[in-house]
Amino acid sequence: MVVTSIHHHTGFETMRRQAAARVLSALILFGAVAYEAQADTQTGPTLPPPPSVLYGDLFVAVQTAQVYPDQKTFVDATPKADPATIVAYYEQQKNNPGFSLSAFVAQYFTPPTDQVITPPPNQTLREHIDWLWPRLTRVTTSATVPANSSLIPMPKPYVVPGGRFREGYYWDTYFTMLGLQEAGREDLVDDMLDNFAYLIDTIGHIPNGNRTYYVSRSQPPFFSYMVELAAQKEGGRVYQKYLPQMRREYAYWMQGAGALKPGDAARNVVMLPDHTVLNRYWDASDTPRDESYLEDVTTAKQVPGRAPNEVYRDLRAAAESGWDFSSRWFGDNMTLATIRTTSIVPVDLNSLMFHLETTIARGCGEARDFGCVAQFIGHAAKRALGINKYLWNDKGYYGDYDWRLAKPRDNVSAAALYPLFAGAAWPERAHRTARAVEAQLLKPGGLATTTYTTSQQWDAPNGWAPLHWIAIEGLKRYGRSELSQPIGMRFLADVKNVYAKQQKLVEKYVVEGAGTGGGGGGEYPLQDGFGWTNGVTLKLLDLYGG
């Protein structure tokens, strides 16, 4: 292979050393930014930097030239030689007559492959989901992940969503776990909990996914819900077992809170004028996302008068939210170029933080640390007050708050039901929210994500499995089964309809109009597999017959 026959002449060796030095200094810079939380807590192996840092100008050239149609392909590719050597060789060759970037990339990188799922014929929907679990399960330990891969090893097996999503994702995993538990796979539930505990212990938080280019951010913090799920089967000892990791995750999300002044924000925390502290989505990096480089550069060019790094930070923060992208984050409710994610205090994130605080209190109770119990009950009580002061819209629903503009966002969405799901909603407001959701979001195929049609995937006419589960559980918690049942049954019918026609479960669904089916919009084609749809569908089959 050409990789092993590089001529180490003096000029090339000098270039190789220069490239290695550039990679090293970039790694130091990256470590100061994206790995800030890792520095104080890491006990595992040091991770390589993300591909944008590892390959520098070569990365920019590959993504800009669209060597692969999907920007995620290159960052998931495996190098066939040391990155510094590849970069040096690129610098040596790139200006040569007839140089082909695509041929160079093919020579020095092995691209990933999407798993094509071809099920046996005539499976029922339940049989198909049971058949899928082992096909979506991965084992990628430090012994099996190639050197300089962007994949972060994890000690135990885990389930991936499917398609282009070849790694585990933080918030997806909770909804996948629901189905695994329903299918009797408590072993995988425990394995994935242990993996996330490992990531918290070694990196300092649970990244967006187990890729180096995801480390600079997290995702909606469902870890406490995963602990609660396991505890339902295995008892209260689970709360105590994962208490250190829950407390460390809480510290990650609350970094900088102690030094804030009213009207200021730092990282994931915002202090409002009355000293209320709430959370926002944020990313430690302010560059284009590795996995969507060209899309982000293009978006930033469409925003006159705004520094590109501010736009990149808001795009990345939306990726942390899991709602990438949605009118929830747009200044005009319609256009990606008006994105202002870091200016928004989100109702879903703060509801999840409320649950994290109450679950930590539960774990401290199991450990008989009553000072900690009192402390975190206090945190949760303040959080509930903050949610009901700032994240209540007088139009009759829970929603987001723009802390920079000091006003609620008039954008009803399926996230309105998170305070019900977490138990932070006031009963009268829970019922008003239920009425608003029924009037504005309930469609023939289930619950629309928002009221806006923007061409983004987290907007109308799409509906998503995790948001249906949040809605069902939240409404049931406040005694609104007469609404939760039609939401669940309509979405289940949509899933069944697509499966009957195509023999697949997909990432998202169209829930509006007569033509319900697989959803669209966003940065990539519709993916099938699909982890969280499988998990929620199994729960719905058992709830509503199947």
What is the per-residue pLDDT across 202-220, written as a single tens digit (0 to 9) for each?
999 999 999 999 999 999 9
Asked if residue 416 has pLDDT above 70, the reply is: yes
| Ramachandran class of 184: left when φ > 0, alpha when ψ lies in -120 to 50, beta otherwise | left
pLDDT of 225 reads 98
Q: Which of 324, 348, 357, 459 is catalytic?
A: 324
Tokens of 478: 């406040």
Tens digits of per-residue pLDDT, 286-344?
999 999 999 999 999 999 899 999 999 999 999 999 999 999 999 999 999 999 999 99
* Residue 215 Cα to chain centre, angstroms: 11
- Residue 362, in any domain of the structure: no
Tens digits of per-residue pLDDT, 214-254?
999 999 999 999 999 999 999 999 999 999 999 999 999 99
The answer to whether 274 is a known ligand-binding residue is no
Asked if residue 33 has pLDDT above 50, the reply is: no
The answer to whether 36 is a known ligand-binding residue is no
The answer to whether 76 is a known ligand-binding residue is no
Q: Which of 10-19, 432-441, 452-461 has the lowest mean pLDDT?
A: 10-19
pLDDT of 525 reads 87
The answer to whether 503 is a known ligand-binding residue is no
What's the domain count of the chain?
Answer: 1
How far, in Å, are 438, 450, 465, 519 from residue 492 at the CA level?
Answer: 17, 19, 9, 15
Q: Which of 283, 295, 400, 507 is catalytic?
A: 507
Tokens of 251: 């510290």
Contact 536, 167 (CB under 8 A): no
How far, in Å, are 317, 325, 365, 466 from residue 296 at the CA level?
Answer: 13, 12, 46, 26
- Residue 13, in any domain of the structure: yes
pLDDT of 3 reads 37
Which residues fall within 8 angstroms of residue 1, CB to CB, at 6 or more apart?
80
The answer to whether 208 is a known ligand-binding residue is yes
**Regarding beta strands 407-408 and 401-402, do their DSSP bridges make them parallel or antiparallel, or are they unpaired?**
antiparallel
pLDDT of 2 reads 35
- Residue 473, in any domain of the structure: no
Which residues fall within 8 angstroms of residue 206, CB to CB, at 6 or more apart?
170, 196, 199, 200, 218, 219, 221, 223, 249
- Residue 523, in any domain of the structure: no
Query: Which pairs count as long-range contacts for 296-302, CB under 8 Å and 24+ apart, including other chains?
Result: 297/64, 299/336, 299/337, 299/339, 302/336, 302/337
Q: Residue 324 catalytic? A: yes
Tokens of 353: 């933080």
Give the domain extent around 99: 2-67+78-110
The answer to whether 164 is a known ligand-binding residue is yes
The answer to whether 322 is a known ligand-binding residue is yes
Q: Residue 507 catalytic? A: yes
Tens digits of per-residue pLDDT, 149-199?
999 999 999 999 999 999 999 999 999 999 999 999 999 999 999 999 999
Type and span of the H or E element at 401: strand 401-402
> Model-level pTM?
0.93
- Residue 9, in any domain of the structure: yes
- Residue 26, in any domain of the structure: yes
- Residue 135, in any domain of the structure: no
Q: Which of 160, 170, 152, 25 is nearest to 76 (CA)?
A: 152
- Residue 541, in any domain of the structure: no
The answer to whether 218 is a known ligand-binding residue is yes
User: What value, to the nearest 5°, has the Cα angle with vertex 281 and ends 275 and 285?
Assistant: 115
Asked if residue 27 has pLDDT above 90, the reply is: no
The answer to whether 357 is a known ligand-binding residue is no
With cut-offs at 50, 70 and 90, classify the pLDDT of residue 113.
Answer: confident
